[in-house]
Amino acid sequence: MNLPDRGNLRDRRAASAGHLPRLRPARLSPGDILRLGAVGLRARRARVVLSALGIAIGIATMVTVVGLSQSSKSDLMARLDRLGTNLLTVEAGTDAQGNEVKLPKSAVAMVERIGPVRHATATANVDARIRRSDVVPEERSAGVTTQAARTDLLAALNARVAEGTWLNRANEHLPVTVLGSVAAQRLGVTEPGQKIMMDDEYVVVVGILRPVELVPTLDRVAMVGFPAAEKYFRFDGHPSMIFERSPDATVEDVRAVLARTVSPGAEGNAKVSRPSDALAAKAATDKGLTTLMLGLGAVALLVGGVGVANTMVISVLERRQEIGLRRAIGATRNAIRLQFLTESLLLSALGGATGAVLGAAATFGFALAQGWTAVVPPWSVAAGFTATLFIGVLAGLYPAVRASRLHPTVALNAT
């Protein structure tokens, strides 16, 4: 023969000498195993794409959900960082009879006297109806209320003016107002200089605020200076809400004494809260939704896995002749099992990789639309991919074992 086969030659010599070499099936190289697994995939592309799609949708959902929840969380953290979490508010509550309790006029001064407090300021409810002009009947409320505000309120809240100016030492005595962002919208005020009516008084809008993230209620009010409120709107000078900031480490200590400080003897009537907690709570409610979406993704992944298993079972059925041939040319049961297991793994890995890419892309797209910084945690991609491989093995195991158990002659005679 023109192709000497040393192995066989050795076998024959050993055989003629009376003892045969021990037969041992050769091991397939990893490259050969991968190529074997890919053979079945290349032959049935449409089916491969469709069954990988199931897995891809599941993984994409999970990666997107985790990515978006992380992106929104990191956005919230950045916002909290910017706004500070050390702001506390004290609100006038109600007494046992349900009557509104007033905070003492000296409340701000008393809070300032608490050691660590850096900043203390206040707003007060003012009983003055707001209209766009005197043509609007008094009964038709614009959904905007009046509040008196101290000039240092803006600094304490880290809030900013969008247009015009904030109240200052001079104009807090004058009939001028600064509108919250929503209030300006409701009143149809677009720029400073326009006038609105408070009770029967025309006041000039000198500024419009940007949305106040920590205290969104301020978006819906028109603010006037304390002195002006007393002078023009019969305001009694009692604050209704105190704002206070102290260094982060002392927030809890300050919180403990705050109610007692502002209304000694009736601390039950003062409600102390931390506005940043409301933002954090929003993140917590998002968590429930995230879990739900993750569950949906897991279901999609499971269905995808069933699809892969189905594809593999059909693949084994259709390829019985191939299995028979492979057994005839020397494939062990192990080799057959490995071939179909690899095929299933490749199939779901294909879906998993596609899903991870799609999920990351969706996260980036959505985050961009929301103005967030996109965060795709590597662990979510890694976990998704691992889940894929796990599903690949699980989905491929039964078909692969079935393939390996086919009797060679039965497989060869299959039609």
Partner 1 sequence: MTKPPTPAAIPTAPVPVGARPTPVVELRDVTKSYAGGVHALRGVSLTVEAGELLAIVGPSGSGKSTMLHVIGTLDAPTAGTVRVAGYDVGRLSDAQLSALRSRHIGFVFQHFQLAAGRDAVDNVADGLLYGGVSRKERRARARAALERVRLGHRLDHRPAELSGGEKQRVAIARALAGEPDLLLADEPTGALDTASGEVVMELLHELNAAGTTVCVITHDNEIAGSLPRRVRFRDGEIVSDFPAQQASFPTRHQQASFPAQQASSQ
Interface residues toward partner 1, by CB under 8 A: 1-5, 7-8, 11-12, 15-16, 20, 23-29, 31-32, 36, 39, 42-43, 321-322, 324-335, 407-409, 412
Give the pair of three-digit tokens for residue 122: 């206040």
Least distance in angstroms from the C-beta of 338 to partner 1: 11
Least distance in angstroms from the C-beta of 413 to partner 1: 9
Nearer to partner 1, 24 or 82 (CB): 24
Nearer to partner 1, 266 or 410 (CB): 410
> Per this entry, what is the length of the chain?
415
**3-class SS string, 382-411:** HHHHHHHHHHHHHHHHHHHHHHHHCCHHHH
Least distance in angstroms from the C-beta of 350 to partner 1: 18
Nearer to partner 1, 131 or 326 (CB): 326
- DSSP string for 30-43: HHHHHHHHHHHHHH
CA distance 198 to 204: 10
Least distance in angstroms from the C-beta of 46 to partner 1: 14
Place of tokens 């030659």: 9
Nearer to partner 1, 231 or 333 (CB): 333
Least distance in angstroms from the C-beta of 324 to partner 1: 8
Nearer to partner 1, 21 or 237 (CB): 21
Least distance in angstroms from the C-beta of 400 to partner 1: 16
The answer to whether the CB of 381 falls within 8 A of the CB of 293 is: no
Question: Which among 253, 264, 335, 344 is positioned nearest to 304, based on CA atoms?
Answer: 344
Give the pair of three-digit tokens for residue 152: 């240092």
Question: Which among 303, 295, 395 is positioned nearest to 50, based on CA atoms?
Answer: 303
Give the pair of three-digit tokens for residue 300: 């999609």
Nearer to partner 1, 14 or 266 (CB): 14
**3-class SS string, 51-89:** HHHHHHHHHHHHHHHHHHHHHHHHHHHHHHHHHCCCEEE
CA distance 106 to 413: 99
Least distance in angstroms from the C-beta of 281 to partner 1: 59
Place of tokens 């900013």: 160
According to DSSP, the β-strands at 176-179 and 201-209 are parallel
Nearer to partner 1, 340 or 364 (CB): 340
Q: State which H helix or E strand residue 209 sits in.
A: strand 201-209
Nearer to partner 1, 3 or 369 (CB): 3
Least distance in angstroms from the C-beta of 298 to partner 1: 35
